[in-house]
Amino acid sequence: MGKVFAYARVSTPRQGEKGVSLPEQRDAIERYAQARGLEIARWFEERETASETGRHVFNQMLRLLRLRQAQGVIIDKIDRSARNMEDWADVSQLVDAGVEVHFATENVDMKTVSGRLSADIQAVVAAHYSRNLREEVKKGFYGRLKQGFYPLRAPLGYLDQGGGKVKLPDPLRGPLIREAFDLYGSGKFSLPRLAEEMFHRGLRNRNGGPVSINGLATVLTNAFYIGLMRIHKTGETFNGNHEPLVTTEVFEEAQAMLAAKRVDRQNNQVFTYSRIVRCASCKYSLIAERHKGHAYYRCHNRPFKIPAVCPPTCVREEALDAAVLGALANVDLSDDELRLAHVMLEEQTRELAQTQSVAREATRLQLDHARVRLTKLTDLLIDGTIDKSTFGERRDALFLEQARIKERLAEIERNPESVLASLAKTVELAKSPSLLYKSASQEKKRELLKILLANLTVSSKNVDVTLAPPFQIIAERQKTSDGRPYRGTCRTWEQILTEFIKHFNRGITPAY
């Protein structure tokens, strides 16, 4: 009894339940196999259209057939295998290579010239049907647009009335959308502040939550609110039959404000702590604003949490400077400490090459293990143990893990001398980081912060500074009253230099 694969496909989940459903295809294929003495070695089922190439299950089956994992395949009908000529060409190549291709409900013998001709004609008809169907759908879509009806979901502030009917203003959200345009056009509100204000006024998204900043920006740039329907994919615009919520003048004022904000963002100086200081409660970056010559950093996330999780958090830049300088002052090394660090650095030079060799082999084993897991994951998908959604999530996580391992391997394989050179520079940096930071330009300050800090957070008006691991160890070391190191502190400096090496093997390069 010959072993064959069986392939069944539906274009949509709904088709999987009605019409040419998967169970109906399975029944037809099983009857065909039983009548001809064929054993089904493996099932391949797919819920994707055949009008375009790229079906994962179908392509996997083709690869296995080319490897002679089975002597052939049974498919319900020709249009289940292909509705584009590229996939049909792949099926034909299998037949040419001696693979048996059977169609359960069509009297086609792929071993004969006349049978191949009949199948080719049916494949062309199936491809034509698919293209024609796509054109008809497109024609209906644009036909509605030309008639003034929006064939997509109603934007926020409007209500759907069903197919072929005009969108109606939402009596609850519509007036609030109008207020949002007026407030933003006044120039008194940034997008974050506007989102906060509209939340307080009662504007909610369809799920009952707050409208995000990006969502509000989408609203403000949507010409639907002035009676136009714009298709972003093609750039085409149509007149709509729906009632506009705002006037063209108000809409244009909002667009002018958006354009002005973009220019301001490009021309304004970057704040020293932008994307560095975060809210201690929600972990989002604080937003920098300038008022009366002072820079303030404020958490804008508090109003959007139900219940609120962030206390009112706002801090001046001067307070951040004082906190950072206070933390860095604890790192400053004396001359005696600097000499001791250089002596122990020479010892680390001899040990680093051997340490890197062991770490390199361990990291390569981790990379090999991740590749094996990815292969096993693919097998689980083919076997139907997991669905495509789960496969995609796990696969993406494995890809990310592989990328991280490769980055670690690249850092480990760096020249040991380059690591030690960076280490020596950073030891010099630790001699007086507070003085260096105080005298640095804004750009250099930002570079130093990325090297020296592990975390910078604010809760209410309280600033918390956590130094990066090696610098934190230095800051916590014991010192004599005159600043000299205690006798017998070699172990402490061994730990410090070990942390420095770990620091640079993570790919952090000093700016100085």
With cut-offs at 50, 70 and 90, classify the pLDDT of residue 270.
Answer: low
In whole angstroms, what separates CA 49 from the centre of its chain? 26
Residue with tokens 């143990």: 385
With cut-offs at 50, 70 and 90, classify the pLDDT of residue 202.
Answer: very high
Q: What is the pLDDT of residue 17?
A: 43
Average pLDDT estimate for 165-185: 92
User: What is the set of domains in the chain, with CATH numbers?
Assistant: 2-142 (3.40.50.1390), 158-267 (3.90.1750.20), 335-352+417-505 (no CATH)
Is the model's pLDDT at 233 over the cut of 50? Answer: yes
Give the tens place of pLDDT for each residue, 239-257. 888 998 988 878 888 887 7
Q: What is the pLDDT of residue 266?
A: 43
Q: What is the pLDDT of residue 18?
A: 43
332 phi and psi, to 5 degrees?
A: -50, 125
Q: At what angle do helices 490-505 and 416-429 cross, to 10 degrees?
A: 120
**428 or 33, higher pLDDT:** 33
- In whole angstroms, how large is the CA radius of gyration of the chain? 33
Q: Residue 43: helix, strand or coil by DSSP?
A: strand
Burial class (CB in 10 A: 0-12, 13-18, 19+), 37: exposed
Instruction: Flag the least confident range among 27-36, 63-72, 154-163, 348-357.
Output: 348-357
**384 or 326, higher pLDDT:** 326
* Contact assessment for residue 196 and residue 300, using Cβ atoms and an 8 Å cutoff: yes
* Contact assessment for residue 275 and residue 290, using Cβ atoms and an 8 Å cutoff: no
Q: Which tokens hold the place of 184? A: 């933003």
The residue ranges of DSSP E strands in 196-302, in sequence order, are 228-231, 236-239, 278-279, 287-291, 294-298
Task: Count CA within 13 A, CB hemisphere, residue 234.
Answer: 8
Q: How far apart are CA 453 and CA 276, in angstroms?
A: 9
Is the model's pLDDT at 373 over the cut of 70? Answer: yes
Average pLDDT estimate for 276-293: 85
Q: How far apart are CA 481 and CA 16, in angstroms?
A: 79
- The bridge status of strand 100-103 relative to strand 314-316 is unpaired
Q: What is the pLDDT of residue 178?
A: 94
Give me the chain's average pLDDT, please. 80
- Label each residue of 298-360 as H, E or C: ECCCHHHCCCCCCCCCEEEHHHHHHHHHHHHHCCCCCHHHHHHHHHHHHHHHHHHHHHHHHHH
**41 or 429, higher pLDDT:** 41
Give me the amino acid identity at 103. Answer: F
Q: What is the pLDDT of residue 510?
A: 43
Q: At what angle do helices 335-382 and 490-505 cross, to 10 degrees?
A: 40
With cut-offs at 50, 70 and 90, classify the pLDDT of residue 154.
Answer: very high
Q: What is the pLDDT of residue 16?
A: 42
Q: What is the pLDDT of residue 118?
A: 84
Q: Which tokens hold the place of 480? A: 């004599």
* Share above pLDDT 70 across residues of the chain, in percent, rounded to a whole number: 80
Q: What is the pLDDT of residue 491?
A: 61
C-beta neighbour count of 315 within 10 angstroms: 22
* Contact assessment for residue 370 and residue 398, using Cβ atoms and an 8 Å cutoff: yes
pTM, full prediction: 0.40
Q: Which tokens hold the place of 312? A: 């009112």
Is the model's pLDDT at 174 over the cut of 90? Answer: yes
Is the model's pLDDT at 192 over the cut of 80? Answer: yes
Among the listed residues 305, 312, 315, the one whose alpha carbon sits nearest the alpha carbon of residue 195: 305
Give the tens place of pLDDT for each residue, 3-21. 999 998 887 554 444 446 7
